[in-house]
Amino acid sequence: MTAHQIAVRGISWSRAGNRRGIVMAGEAPIKQAVKWIDDQLQDNPDADRVKLVDEASRRFDLSPLDADFLFRHLAERPTKK
């Protein structure tokens, strides 16, 4: 199976060939990361945001610039208590 066929089926694979999780085909990784973090914060509003960004960066193979965007995105959002 080619990388394109994998992407079309909605499965993300790391360079080593390990399955990284189901993702929406054609959706930008940064959007996926924002959605994932939002879901995590809905489930646990007191979650450590730095750890969430770190996990999202690894999970969605984000660049350092994308991770910086996520930090800014979270800093602008009020904490829900």
User: What are the tens digits of pLDDT across the range 26-39?
Assistant: 679 999 999 999 99
Per-residue pLDDT at 25: 61
4-20 tens-digit pLDDT: 444 444 444 444 443 44
pLDDT for residue 46 is more than 60: yes
Q: What is the mean pLDDT of residues 51-65?
A: 95
3-state SS, residue 26: coil
Give, in order, the Cα–Cα distances in Å from 24 to each of 62, 75, 81.
16, 26, 30
From CA 71, how far away is CA 81, in angstroms rounded?
Answer: 19
Cβ 70 vs Cβ 29: under 8 Å = no
Per-residue pLDDT at 16: 40
Per-residue pLDDT at 78: 73
From CA 35, how far away is CA 41, in angstroms rounded?
Answer: 10
This prediction has a pTM of: 0.62
